[in-house]
Amino acid sequence: MSSSYIKALVWAILIFIGSSLSGDTLSDVKFINIPGFDKFVHFTWYFLLFLFLAAAVYKKNESIQIKQIFLLLMVCVVYGGLLEFLQGNFFVKRSEDVFDFIANSSGAIIASLLFSYLYKRKFWKKWL
């Protein structure tokens, strides 16, 4: 497994951990009290998840096709939906939030639209 896939996997695991923390733990950690900040966090998590996944595919194939971008987008959206479902039904002191799902999906969608542009930049190539 290439380092790019490992980065994507580690990021997905971090998202899972962040999503599964109990509500009590999160209220103790909440140090930024800006309305809607949690939606920004959700957007960013899935924006970066898509970029990590797309970079891994791009590096493996030396290109990326539209159908691969769509498939990766669906992976991110389904993963976000699954975690919201788990929050509402299995995780302690967590609840489903359709707006979190929208933020997750929006992050992945925007990343899918910007991937080709961003990946050509040295900064992103270095980190992805």
pLDDT at 24: 57
State mean pLDDT over 66-71: 96
pLDDT at 38: 87
Ramachandran region, residue 21 (left: φ > 0; alpha: ψ -120 to 50; beta: rest): beta
Tokens of 122: 């040295």
pLDDT at 10: 97
Residue closest to 16 by CA, chosen among 103, 85, 106: 85
pLDDT at 107: 98
State mean pLDDT over 91-111: 94
Residue closest to 107 by CA, chosen among 15, 9, 7: 15
pLDDT at 32: 63
Render the burial of 36-71: b for 16+ CB within 10 Å, e for the rest.
Answer: eebbeebbebbbbbbbbbbbbbbbeeeebeeeebee
Residue closest to 128 by CA, chosen among 44, 52, 50: 52
Give pTM, 2 decimals: 0.89
Is 73 or 95 the better-scoring residue by pLDDT? 73
Amino acid present at 120: K
